[in-house]
Amino acid sequence: MFESAELGHRVDKRSYDKRVPVLRYELLEAQLQIQAKSEFPVIVLLCGEDGSGRGDIVNLLLEWMDPRHVRVHPSGLPTPGEKERPPMWRFWRALPPKGKTGMFFGGLYDQAIEDRVYGRTGRAELARQLVEIVRFERMLVDEGALVIKVWLHLTKKVQRRRFEKLESSPATSWRVTKRDWQHHRRYQRFREVSEGALHETSTPEAPWIVVEASDDRFRNLTIGETLRDAMRARLDRGRREVPARAPPPRPAAIDGRNVLEELDLSKSVSQAQYDKRLPLLQGRLNALARHKRFKDIAVVIAFEGNDAAGKGGTIRRVTRALDARYYDVVPIAAPTEEERAQPYLWRFWRHIPKLGHFALFDRSWYGRVLVERVEGLAAEADWTRAYREIVDFEDSLSRSRIVVLKFWLSISQEEQLARFRAREKTPFKRFKITPDDWRNRKKWPAYERAVCDMVDRTSTAVAPWHLIEANDKKWARIRVLETIGDSIENALRR
């Protein structure tokens, strides 16, 4: 991987001074075109050995490009807010919207490599982290992003010379830390681990570009030209659509039976039982949320269901048991402009709760494989890959001790009709029924199939689907509260 980056590449001052003005003009032009079209974001990842000048490069690029459309994300230690969320969270938060450029130092790689070098993680854990990164990057490219990964490389000898030179002047000596020398002593090990990681993550969609960093002029010109070429190539490609790679999931079962039809929707609970059980379950949930170990976990709940299945009412029965400081209800409607400029899952990642908190999603990330699939709002290639991405997303959450709960509130077609009619008749409920609702109703079989595929492909051991019989609202509320209580109890026990 580093063969070509240990040759002592150099560029003399004269040709540098001649080439830079042209390059700056071209870079700026490419950047402005990308900004004008706003069809895709540019994600630049700068990694490499200590002393390779990643900071200098970023400063230079900010000078060469229009800095208003570039955001820089230093790595560094996570902030308190970041520490309480899954490691991926900060990267999701920092993704640039379409048309803009984000520059990341080290990304997820720095930490993964360092942890391995110092033996804080084993070979298997590093491999898992790299697979997670590869999938994340593939998702970004699938979403249209231009991903440019640059590795700045130095030999051990040059690294030492760099450090010594910086230390020799009082103006720069602060830039060399004890940690830098510590890393330097482990140079060979860093090199081995990095080389392995680079091979493992050099994918067709986001290959590494290794640049020798011993000569500043060579480094600067090479990175500038690489960026320019990559941006131009991406602009030329335009919006070419990627075809779906496989047929959609298997058709509905030939005997017409499915997990939804199997539900016994006649299940119900009497008013008396309900009045007795509900406060008990709410009290139990409240106690769990105040448990001394609850601050080490968090809870994410997705509520999905047929129109008029009673999601809102159920959510209110849950939140009534909770302290308002510790929960958020996130209603999911059509994405905002800001959200449309980001990868699909971005608008859910932004609402991931801190430890000790709840987030209740009224509709959720499953929109892509439900309404967007059925209404043709997402291309087949996009919703078919969403299953995998959603499973990865929920895996990330649960690995960070977030309890993920998913409810499908299921009602019959007849019950829905009755509820729609009741809404139309009740003046203060009329806002709850729209022409869309009647239209969706006509696509009942298509929605049913989408729900069954969703359950099959995203029900995992860590985040199973709970299908709730909801023709009787009271029954549904009791079942949901019971399930939430059981799951949190389980999580606290672990």
For the bound state, the minimum distance from the C-beta of residue 55 to a copy of itself, rounded and expressed in Å, comes to 22
Alpha helices in 249-345 (DSSP H): 271-289, 311-319, 337-340
For the bound state, the minimum distance from the C-beta of residue 491 to a copy of itself, rounded and expressed in Å, comes to 19
Nearer to a copy of itself, 124 or 272 (CB): 124
Q: Sign of torsion, CA 299 304 305 311?
A: positive
Nearer to a copy of itself, 120 or 237 (CB): 237
Strand partners, 104: 45, 73
404 touches 300 (CB < 8 A): yes
HSE at residue 177, side-chain half, CA atoms within 13 A, is 4
Q: In the sheet where 208-212 sits, what is the strand order?
A: 70-73, 101-105, 42-48, 146-153, 208-212
| Distance (Å, whole) CA 435 – CA 451 | 22
For the bound state, the minimum distance from the C-beta of residue 150 to a copy of itself, rounded and expressed in Å, comes to 9
For the bound state, the minimum distance from the C-beta of residue 154 to a copy of itself, rounded and expressed in Å, comes to 16
Nearer to a copy of itself, 249 or 312 (CB): 249
Query: Tokens 């996009």 sit at which residue?
Result: 382
Nearer to a copy of itself, 23 or 166 (CB): 23
Nearer to a copy of itself, 33 or 172 (CB): 33
For the bound state, the minimum distance from the C-beta of residue 227 to a copy of itself, rounded and expressed in Å, comes to 10
Nearer to a copy of itself, 32 or 381 (CB): 381
For the bound state, the minimum distance from the C-beta of residue 424 to a copy of itself, rounded and expressed in Å, comes to 35
DSSP state of 336: P
| Distance (Å, whole) CA 306 – CA 444 | 9
For the bound state, the minimum distance from the C-beta of residue 286 to a copy of itself, rounded and expressed in Å, comes to 32
Nearer to a copy of itself, 35 or 203 (CB): 203
List strand residue ranges (DSSP E) for 332-460, in order: 358-362, 402-410
Strand partners, 211: 152
Which structure tokens are listed for 8? 């002592």
